[in-house]
Structures are given as C-alpha cells and as structure tokens.
Amino acid sequence: MSDVRVIIQRDSEREEHVVTTGTTAAELFPGQRTVVAARVDGELRDLAYALRDGEVVEPVEISSEDGLNILRHSTAHVMAQAVQELHPEAKLGIGPPVKDGFYYDFDVEKPFTPEDLKAIEKKMQEIQKRGQRFSRRVVSDEEAREELADEPYKLELIGIKGSASSDDGADVEVGGGELTIYDNLDAKTGELCWKDLCRGPHLPTTRFIPAFKLMRNAAAYWRGSEKNPMLQRIYGTAWPTKDELKAHLTFLEEAAKRDHRKLGNELDLFSFPDEIGPGLAVFHPKGGVIRRAMEDYSRRRHEEEGYEFVYSPHATKGKLFEKSGHLDWYADGMYPPMQLDDGVDYYLKPMNCPMHNLIFDARGRSYRELPLRLFEFGTVYRYEKSGVVHGLTRSRGFTQDDAHIYCTREQMAEELDRTLTFVLNLLRDYGLTDFYLELSTKDPEKFVGSDEAWEEATETLRQVAEKQGLPLVPDPGGAAFYGPKISVQCKDAIGRTWQMSTVQLDFNLPERFDLEYTGPDGTKQRPVMIHRALFGSIERFFAVLLEHYAGAFPVWLAPVQAVGIPIGDTHIPYLQEFAAEARKKGLRVEVDASSDRMQKKIRNHQKAKVPFMIIVGDDDMNAGTVSFRYRDGSQENGIARDEAIAKLVDVVERRVQV
C-alpha cells in the first residue's frame, strides 16, 4: 500500500500526516466522538471517506454549525425510517435540517395525530439504540429510479438534478453532480434496514444522535408550491447533549409565553378578524394607545433630527412602479392591479420610496437644501401567501417608519454616520440594548452601477459601522441590486435575534427618476439616496417589544399606566379625583369601580400587566395620600397625592421600566 500525505487543519494550525491508501477520515480522529464529519478540501464528507494524497482535512465537531446540521439531517432520516416502519404506505418527500431542528414531509392518507408522534418518537429511540450505520452509495440516474420506483417524489427530485434549490430543501437530496443513496445498515449483520436519496453527509451511526424530540406536525405543499399536493410535515429538534435539548425546550416554553399573538389576545391589544383576511390586523383601544405612544415619540425624535414629514397615497398608477423597477423586480410581492380610468392599472403601494422621489422632484433643488430628510409613517401592502403570514411580524398590510435622505456625495459618510447613530439611540430609547451590525455587500451577478461606486459605498458603510464599536458581521452578496446596506440586528430579553433597522444606499432610483440638484458651480448633479426604515414596520416593532417585555411594557408605553383600586366603594370618588388630576398631567390612569372584591381587582390588573396600582382606604382619604403597589407585589404607603403624580410623571419622562 502506498503512502498518502494529508494535512489536518484546526483553525490556523496545520499538521501533515502520512497514512496509507484507504485510510478514512475517521482514522485521523480516533476516540474523538465529538467529531462527526470532515471538511475535505472545503467539501463536507462522511468520516468513512477514503482520503487522497494532498487533501486538507478539517474535523467537524457536532456542536459546530455544520455538525448541528449533520446531526439534525441524520435524525430526520431516522424519523423517516420510523414513519415508514409504522406507516408502510407513507411516501417520502424532503427532510432537510433547519434552524434548531429538522423536518420531513410525508404523503399519507390522514394527518398525523399526537399519539402518532409519540409512537414515531418511541420507534426513533429504538432505531437510535440499534446503532445503524449510515453508508453512502453512488448510483446512476437509472439505478436511482429503479431503486426508488415506489417513491414518486424522489423520482421527481432525480429529474431535477442540477437545478435543485435550497429554498424548498431539494438541494439536500440532489445536487448538480452524482446521485447518492444513503443506506441505514444493521450494526451487526450489515443488512439493509432503510434507504433514502440524499447528498449527505451523515453521522457515522445512529448512536451519534444524543438527544432529540418531535415537536409538531403541519400541512405543507410539496416543494412549497400551492399547485402541488399537500403533504404532512413533522418537525423535530436534535442537540449534542440532553442538557442542551432541555435548555432548548425551556427556551421554547418561554418564547411561547411571550408569543405576541397570544399576548395580543390576552391583553386585548389587536386581532386578525376572519372577515378582513389573513395578515391584516386591527388594533384595539389599548393596542392603539401603545402604537400612538410609539409613533408620537418617534415623530418627536425625528423632528429633533431635522426630518421633514410627508404623506403619500396608498395607491398609484402602475407606471410609477415601472419607472422605479418594482414591477420588474418585485411584482410577485405586489397585489394585482385595479383597472380604473378607462383601463389604467393602479396598484396598492408596496414601497414608499418612489413617491418620496416625486416629492424631491416636485421642484428644483439646490445643494443648499441638502441633506433633505423626508419621513413618513407610510402604510404599504405586500402580497404574502396565507401560509406564511405570522401575526404582526409578517403581514400583508403594515406601516413603515420610512425615511429617504437625499444628500451630496461629499455628505454621504457624515449622513450615514449620523443616521446609524440616530437609529441605535432611538432603539435604545425603546429599551433594546444588545446589538450587532451586518454589512450586506454586492452580489456579483445582480447589481446596478459601477464597481468603483459600489466599492466606495461599501467601504464608507464599513467605516461608519466600525465607528459604532459594535460587532460587524459580513453578509457577502446579500445586498439588494441597487446598493449595499447595514442591518441592525438586536437580541431580545430571551436571546432571540431580530433584524431591526436597515440603512441602505441606492444608486438605482436617482438614475431612474433622473433626480438632480443644482451644485455650487451651477451644474446639475445627481444626489445620493439613503433608504432608512428604523422599526422595519410599526406593527413588527410592536410585536418585538411585546415579546421582549412579555407584555409588561415600560410605564411610558403601557396602555394603562396606573389603575386606582378602592378598598371600598366609599373610596371611589377620592380615586376618581386623583385620576382626573393625573390625566391633566398627560398620564393614563383609570379607576376600577367594578363590583369585584379588592383582591380580585389586584389579580385582574396584575394579569393585565398594569405598572402601578394606586390603592386607597380610609387612612389615605383622611391623610390626603395614596399607596403604590408595584408589579412585583411590593407596596409603598402614605404617598401624598401630588408626590404620587409627580412620581408617575417622572418614570414616564425617563422611560424607565418598573
């Protein structure tokens, strides 16, 4: 046997090893059970891969991103095997890893029940304990069709080899090269237990799956198209240790408690009436109070920053979106046209920027007017399939806090710096503090403008982002075709990441709209355009804050900032006088004059997450005082009425949580 030289690379360290022909990647890492695969010359491989001379091999740990994907993909195979052992008639769809878990689609006569999932999970545990070996096998197209003749969805995937997409998960089954089947082999006899069309890689054996759980099932169209059959999808999760699985399940429980759709109903903030349709919310009075407070504060801060407020209509002639390019690039996300005025197409607007360009272009502009900062709470409409709308975070009609800044090229860096600083400070005012930034750069296959302009703009954005002192994560090729952007990513109270604000440069629209200003030398020049949505949308930001605070908003945003609770009916007039005085100071104070007993009133308003309860009895009436009860149940007695109102005003003005 001849010698084979390979290089083991761990981070920046490289070490040459001499092995014999036929040595597998697994033999480079003996006894290292946390190594579940290898990256060989940049390509992920099973540990059973036979090494070749000169290859660079990197171990893939189970806790790495690649390792977790392999763990979850292998667990999806175990689940599919369990399903077919229990339901032999089930036809296989696709089973990719996804964030924090995996799923597999099945064609079955009836939807899976909770009892079915329990049985499937039990069968998976049996398969895991058997220690079946995942074995890769290269097959021709003809061989694959013959072996999988009873699996119609697999046959379809074989037919699209080379054009499979990551969007629907098909790329985990077939790619542009050779076809492979993974066999699950008995640990003792080597007999075939189950097989699936798959690109891999996979774990060495099912015993490398430490902890998993099936979560739920749902209906899903084959490959995401409503034109295709409806399949049954089972979701699951898998983790490197049982402790990590337990922590994840605890996290999911907390996230479920904070789900804005659940809290919105419990706190009477908003709803989605069937009579209106999916993805279209109505805000109830309490939700309206919170939303107005959010908007009013944002409006005031924008005015302080030199933004000018504008308004634009909800619909426009289609010609405007032809000019902007949205009908070329974004038609699938727009509602169908309405034909008015003798056949003229009108569209509900999906974006505000074309209309802001018309405001800029309504008259001649001078360099002395720049930067011009236009701002609007602009309601837009985007067509989302009913299956993907998700409460307030992904809806069909929503209001953007949308700004477009027009400046000279010389002003670009300063304006970007000023804008990003403003964005971060305003988000902090709403109680969000844990940020990192993402820089999306040019897609070489999809951009307008010169390479030089892109390089200048990207470097300017990079410098602006680095000045903030926050982590900066690259997003290669993630920019829109018209310019690079910075995205503000924010972690909430339980560690989830939300994309918040975007600051986007645009080389496309000023050209398309032929926007000009008169420069100092009297010549016509093209402005730089910056798109900036701070909240993303009012509705989405509302949902983020609702989940971040678990419904217990800081006092300045709370729909009811304090509620008066009388010990007896004789104390109601006194509390009503107090509430009237407080309302004159701009406070939102109510009095609970219901027939409920005092303790039930306290419980009711605790559930409603009211920041302060103002309790009054005979002693308070005689002394001209009130008692404060806080959210945590603590109480402060004998506070003078004026002092109590001043205290409420203070916490509102300072925007603090209590």
> Does residue 531 have a known ligand-binding role?
yes
Contacts of 449 (CB under 8 A, 6+ apart): 482, 483, 507, 508
Q: Which of 77, 123, 404, 629 is catalytic?
A: 404
Tokens encoding 367 = 């360099």
Q: Considering the candidates 198, 353, 407, 490, report the single residue annotated as catalytic.
A: 353
Establish whether the linkage from the previous residue to 350 is cis, with ω within 30° of 0: no
Does the active-site annotation cover 353?
A: yes
Tokens describing residue 374: 């236009």
Q: From the CB of residue 65, how many other CB atoms can be counted at a distance below 10 Å?
A: 9
> Among the options 77, 382, 532, 605, which is catalytic?
382
Q: Which of 77, 213, 365, 485 is catalytic?
A: 485
Distance CA 153, CA 159 (A): 10
Question: Is 353 annotated as belonging to a binding site?
Answer: yes
DSSP helix/strand/coil, 267: coil
485 carries an active-site annotation: yes
**Residues in CB range of 479: below 8 A, 6 or more apart:** 440, 441, 442, 443, 447, 485
Give, in order, the Cα–Cα distances in Å from 200 to each of 44, 91, 227, 275.
Answer: 8, 20, 29, 46
Q: Would you state the structure tokens that stand for residue 469, as one six-digit string?
A: 């002192």
What tokens does 376 get? 């609007």
3-state secondary structure of 426: helix
CA nearest neighbour of 355 among 395, 391, 284, 404: 404
Using an 8 Å Cβ cutoff, are 44 and 57 in contact?
A: no
Q: Look up tokens 């009130």; give the residue.
A: 626
- Determine contact, residues 82/209, Cβ cutoff 8 Å: no
Amino acid present at 529:
M
Note whether 515 and 498 are within 8 A (CB): no
The 3-state DSSP composition of the chain as helix, strand, coil percent (nearest 5) reads 35, 30, 35
- Reading the block at residue 97, the tokens are 């890893």
Contacts with 8 (C-beta within 8 Å, 6 or more apart), sequence order: 14, 15, 16, 17, 28, 57, 58, 59
Q: Of 223, 258, 365, 531, which is the active-site residue? A: 531
Both tokens of 559, joined, read 């729909």
Q: Identify whether 442 is a catalytic site residue.
A: no
Annotated catalytic residue, options 400, 468, 504, 561 = 400
Given the DSSP bridges, would you call strands 56-61 and 3-10 parallel, antiparallel or unpaired? Answer: parallel
What is the per-residue burial (b if ≥16 Cβ within 10 Å, else e) of 471-486?
eeeeeeeebbbbbbbb
User: Is 531 considered catalytic here?
Assistant: yes
* CA nearest to 557, candidates 256, 269, 257, 255: 269
- Annotated catalytic, 404? yes
- 188: annotated active-site residue: no
Residue 356 assigned as binding residue: no
Residue among 402, 492, 506, 620 flagged as catalytic: 402
First-to-final CA distance of the chain: 74
Query: What SS3 state is found at 315?
Result: strand
Nearest C-alpha neighbor of 87 from the set 123, 63, 42: 123
What the block records as the tokens of 59 is: 């171990």
Q: Are 583 and 560 spatial neighbours (Cβ–Cβ below 8 Å)?
A: no
Q: Which residues are part of a known binding site?
A: 353, 404, 531
Binding-site residue ranges for Zn(2+): 353, 404, 531
Mind telling me the catalytic residues? 353, 382, 400, 402, 404, 485, 531
